[in-house]
Amino acid sequence: MKIAFVFPGQGSQTVGMMDAYTELSLIRETFTEASDILQQDLWSLTSNGPEDSLNLTTNTQPVILTADVAIYRAWRQAGGIRPHFMAGHSLGEYAALVAAESLTFADALKLVRYRATVMQATVPEGTGGMAAIVGLDDDMVSSVCTEVMNVIPGTSLEPANFNAPGQVVIAGHIQAITQAVTLAKSKGAKLAVILPMSIPSHCSLMQPAAEKLAILLKEIQLQPPQVPVLHNADVGSHSEATSIREILARQLYNPVRWTETIRAIASQGVKHVVECGPGKVLSGLNRRIDKSLENIALTDPDSFHKTIEALK
């Protein structure tokens, strides 16, 4: 029986998201480890908020990374098997590399904190954004972006997340985003809404941030992953450190190809996909991508034990 683990990224955070795991000591120990490295109490931030602070990109990214890694560590400690494939949605890719023993947890924390900082600094507050478009196919969303850029010269607007069939997130300049929402609705989108994110991730506006991240990545030691990790930018797995560094930098300005990733996992004979992190966002997307897959979210210790038994 082949299984895959997928790790969520930014957007899965909520105050109190780790409350169900308090009886698992390794969860708290992992948060303590991260807090000591970053000199910030991540457990208190996760448990008590405030929400505005938790949602700051520079806080959200290390918090989600820590939660993903903590849950995976607890899974393994409880006797859970090592998956055959891994993938992470955007930021979750770093958790996948930690779980695959390619990247140390300490280095991953350093990278994602820096990643968040350069992303925030690259596009000034209020000039960029993202929007979710539901009900249009990928080509139609791409054509909406092109049409808007033709109407508003000098702006950037691109598909950023191909999350599931008929569910695409776009990113770019905020004036283009606003126009695209109106245009998408006129073309029959069931939903077109601006997301509460000031950073236009996974589009060309992030290329300067990617160049800065690439410099730090050169200083980071990477090992061949012990489990294949499918990357967002090319839906491929890489074993060479140079290739992993390049693909992590490219990820910042390339779209997250989640639909293709899940289909690639399914094509390898995987039948069970386990979401390893807070919430069930990826499980919902995965059901829309391939209904033959059984999706499981590790939401609490009870789900750990039930899943371990089910996958024996």
Tens-place pLDDT, residues 231-244: 999 999 999 999 99
The rounded percent of the chain whose pLDDT value lies above 70 is: 100
Contact in structure between 7 and 276 (CB atoms under 8 Å)? yes
pLDDT (0 to 100) of residue 176: 97
C-beta atoms surrounding 59 within 10 Å: 20
Q: How confident is the model at residue 56 (pLDDT cuts 50, 70, 90)?
A: confident
pLDDT (0 to 100) of residue 300: 87
Q: How confident is the model at residue 1 (pLDDT cuts 50, 70, 90)?
A: confident
Q: How far apart are the first and last CA of the chain?
A: 9
Give mean pLDDT, residues 2-19. 92
Give mean pLDDT, residues 240-265. 98
Q: How confident is the model at residue 125 (pLDDT cuts 50, 70, 90)?
A: confident
HEC string for the chain:
CEEEEEECCCCCCCCCCCHHHCCCHHHHHHHHHHHHHHCCCHHHHHHHCCHHHHCCHHHHHHHHHHHHHHHHHHHHHCCCCCCCEEEECCCHHHHHHHHCCCCCHHHHHHHHHHHHHHHHHHCCCCCEEEEEEECCCHHHHHHHHHHHHHHCCCCCEEEEEEEECCEEEEEEEHHHHHHHHHHHHHCCCCEEEECCCCCCCCCHHHHHHHHHHHHHHCCCCCCCCCCCEECCCCCCCCCCHHHHHHHHHHHCCCCECHHHHHHHHHHCCEEEEEECCCCCHHHHHHHHHCCCCEEEECCCHHHHHHHHHHCC
Give mean pLDDT, residues 72-94. 96
Q: What is the dihedral of CA 102, 256, 266, 14, to 10 degrees?
A: 80
pLDDT tens digits for range 172-224: 999 999 999 999 999 999 999 999 887 999 999 999 999 999 999 999 999 99
Q: How confident is the model at residue 18 (pLDDT cuts 50, 70, 90)?
A: very high
Known catalytic residues? Answer: 90, 202
CA atoms within 13 A on the CB side of 162: 23
* Burial of 198 (C-beta count, 10 Å sphere; 0-12/13-18/19+): middle
Q: How confident is the model at residue 12 (pLDDT cuts 50, 70, 90)?
A: confident
Average pLDDT, the chain: 95
pLDDT (0 to 100) of residue 218: 97
Q: How confident is the model at residue 305 (pLDDT cuts 50, 70, 90)?
A: confident
**Is residue 285 pLDDT above 90, yes or no?**
yes
* Burial of 219 (C-beta count, 10 Å sphere; 0-12/13-18/19+): exposed
pLDDT (0 to 100) of residue 196: 82
Distance, CA of 28 to CA of 24 (rounded, Å)? 7
Beta bridge partners of 168: 133, 162
Distance, CA of 163 to CA of 286 (rounded, Å)? 9
Query: What is the model's pTM?
Result: 0.96
Give mean pLDDT, residues 18-45. 95
